[in-house]
Structure 1
Amino acid sequence: MRPPEWTGQLWLGRDYGLIQGELGCTAPHAHYAHQLILAPTAPVTIELDGQLCTARHLFIPALQCHAILEAPGPLFTLYAEPLTIDAQALQHSLLGVELTLPALAEALRHCPRRIVQDRRIEKALAALDRQLTGKVSASALAAHAHLSLSQLERLFSGQLGLPVRRLVLWRRLRLAIGLVLAGEAVTEAAHGAGFADSAHFSRTLKVLFGVTARQALQQLELRLLD
């Protein structure tokens, strides 16, 4: 059986990530990111909403439950923030692109971005990001956007696809992953991203990505992109 660790390189942009390397198997999970797996050497097998899928090109929409069951050989996997990158635009931008990190990163950099049309959501998201390192109050976010708490929850669930609490966890996780890969210890990274402790961070990573921090982060070499 293949080891569960992820190895290789991670190029991390503002709203996307690219991994070139080997992926271990995962438990069933769902995350707030579109995922695209491109396997140049051998097909990958995943379980997607209870169905087995085997192919060299696999697209996993945001919030879809899935598990990586078999991923032989090196491959590329892409994660894209659905708030800014549309699923159809993502796939269209990568058609015919050479399977190298520089070529994929360039294609993603030029992929059309979605614009948040509702200024209230934009204000709430900006306030959320400012508060990530400490306690995030949904009521304070609502007040900053001149909304009631119930209005904010309806807007987040209806337009972003996530309730406020889950979006906070997703953004905390992105921040903590970046801190770990930049060299911080897991405990310091967890606190720096507003998690109560490293155990909370690890549980969240396992729920959203199906792997532990040790499996996913220790063997990846990070490059931060502009």
Structure 2
Amino acid sequence: MLTADSDDWACFEGLCGDAQAHRHLSAQVVVGLSGPARVRGAGGDVVGEAVLVAPGVLHAIVPSGQVGRIVYIQSFGRLAQHWGVAAWPLTPQAAQTPWACRLRGPNPGLTLTAESSASETRSLDPRLATALQTMRQATAYLDLGSVARSVGLSRARLRALAQAELGAPLAHWRAWLQLERALGALRRGENLAAAAALGGFSDQSHFSRTMRRFFGITPQAASRLLRAPRAA
């Protein structure tokens, strides 16, 4: 289930299930609540009380029957700044015990909000920041050329800014923010077709392909996780 979220982070909790290997644009902390967390990276399985995954790192959470808590951290947000995400290794890494203690409490939202407020938001080029906000708030698919023009840039220049400051192509960020909107719709109880439309996807197949690419699961599986009762 989704236990809490903000523009800076999201926190999910439930049984660790099967997922194909994937990469996403956020950083991730996987915390074991009923046993150790196990994350499979390119070099094999990493096991620990908590496992850190940097943005863009290929990984999969290994099904274990354990209850886990997964925190996704916006790579350019305040929490990422506070936790030094930019310096995390490019392979999954078992974290020290304080990470698990920090995130095992009964109300992770309070902890994450406090941690997030301890740092300033990373300074982005204001035109790039505006473009990201435009894409986040969109209710339909946005052409990147029109987004660039709305902030006074060429498409090529906005793409170059995104690559330089965010470390990933602008089209990937558009898809990531589309998923953010679609998952928000699923959380509110919308069906898969409505969620795909609200995310700006051309159809449910487009939504499913993008979901698998960035999260390793289908929208149907995500919907079940978002609506599941809290694991015991």
On whether the aligned pair clears a TM of 0.5, the verdict is yes
> CA separation of 1:113/1:77 partners in 2, compared to 1, >3 Å: closer, same or farther?
farther
SS at match of 1:122: helix
> CA separation of 1:201/1:143 partners in 2, compared to 1, >3 Å: closer, same or farther?
same
Q: Report the residue type matching 1:19 in the other structure.
A: F
For residues 151-197 of structure 1, the C-alpha deviation after alignment (integer angstroms, 9 at most, x for no partner) is: 11110011012212111100000110110111001101110111011
SS at match of 1:70: coil
In the alignment, the residues of structure 1 paired with residue 106 and residue 84 of structure 2 have an alpha-carbon distance, to the nearest angstrom, of 16
> CA separation of 1:196/1:106 partners in 2, compared to 1, >3 Å: closer, same or farther?
same
CA-based RMSD? 2.4
More helix by share: 2
Matched, 1:124 2:117: no
Q: Where do residues 154-165 of structure 1 align in structure 2 (5 Å cutoff)?
A: 154-165=160-171
Structure 2: give runs of 5+ residues left out of the alignment: 86-97
Q: Percent identical across equivalent pairs?
A: 23
In the alignment, the residues of structure 2 paired with residue 187 and residue 101 of structure 1 have an alpha-carbon distance, to the nearest angstrom, of 34
Q: Report the residue type matching 1:99 in the other structure.
A: R
Q: Which residue of 1 aligns with 2:102?
A: 97
- How many residue pairs get aligned? The number is 214
Matched, 1:36 2:40: no
Q: Which residue of 1 aligns with 2:219?
A: 213
Spell out structure 1 runs of 4+ moving beyond 3 A: 85-88, 90-96
The TM-score, its normalising length taken from structure 2, stands at 0.82
Q: Report the residue type matching 1:150 in the other structure.
A: A
In the alignment, the residues of structure 2 paired with residue 26 and residue 75 of structure 1 have an alpha-carbon distance, to the nearest angstrom, of 14
CA offset at residue 199 of structure 1? Answer: 1.4
Q: Report the residue type matching 2:133 in the other structure.
A: A
Q: Which residue of 2 aligns with 1:5?
A: none
Q: Report the residue type matching 2:110 in the other structure.
A: E
The TM-score, its normalising length taken from structure 1, stands at 0.84
Q: Where do residues 5-154 of structure 1 align in structure 2 (5 Å cutoff)?
A: 8-85=1-78, 87=80, 89-90=82-83, 96-97=101-102, 99-102=104-107, 104-110=108-114, 111=116, 112-130=119-137, 132-154=138-160
Q: Which deviates the most, 90-99 or 165-174?
A: 90-99
